[in-house]
Structure 1
Amino acid sequence: MLFLARMEVQFPAHLSAEEVTRLQGLEKEYSQGLQRDGRFAGIWRVVGEYANYSLFDVASNDELHEILSGFPMYPYMKIKVTPLAKHPNSIK
């Protein structure tokens, strides 16, 4: 199943720069592991925002929820998920 997720990060003001840097490192490690195993099929930055659009290829809604809630920055994310279906005009 394909899902498009828009993820926007909103760190609270009380987090130190060191904590933000630590979370960013953990986030990179976690997301690259998901990319390597194929469940995180793509990621695109939103210009001018601390946000991205991500494409996930997973077996179920529950698996996607588990993945999203596993992101180290999850407590600071606003996430909107859109389920995707094949378009009849697609040649792929």
Structure 2
Amino acid sequence: MLFHVRMNVKLPASMPAEEAARLKQVEKEYSQRLQREGKWRHIWRIAGQYANVSIFDVDSVEELHTLLTSLPLFPYMQIETMPLCRHPSSVREDDR
């Protein structure tokens, strides 16, 4: 199942810089592992914002929920998800 996921991050201004840097590093490692596993198919930064648009390829809504809530920055995110399906006008034979 493919999902379009938008993540907006808002770290508290009171968070120490060292803690923010540590969380970002752990987040990066986790997201790159999911990308290598094929679960996090694409990620794009939204210019001028601390936000991204991503495509996830998971087996279920429950799996997506588990992956997203496991993100180290999850407590500081506003997340919007949209399930995706193939458009009948697509010229592609697969989802790559």
Q: Shared fold (TM-score greater than 0.5)?
A: yes
Number of corresponding residues: 92
Cα distance between partner residues in 2 of 1:63 and 1:21: 27
Give the letter for the 1:34 counterpart: L
Cα drift, residue 48 of structure 1: 0.2
TM-score, with length taken from structure 1: 0.98
Structure 1: any 5+ residue segments left out of the alignment? none
- Determine the structure 1 residue equivalent to 2:12: 12
- Determine the structure 1 residue equivalent to 2:73: 73
Structure 2: any 5+ residue segments left out of the alignment? none
Seq. identity, %: 53
Q: Which runs of 4+ in 1 moved over 6 A?
A: none
- Determine the structure 2 residue equivalent to 1:62: 62
- Determine the structure 1 residue equivalent to 2:48: 48
Cα drift, residue 88 of structure 1: 0.5
Cα distance between partner residues in 2 of 1:4 and 1:16: 31
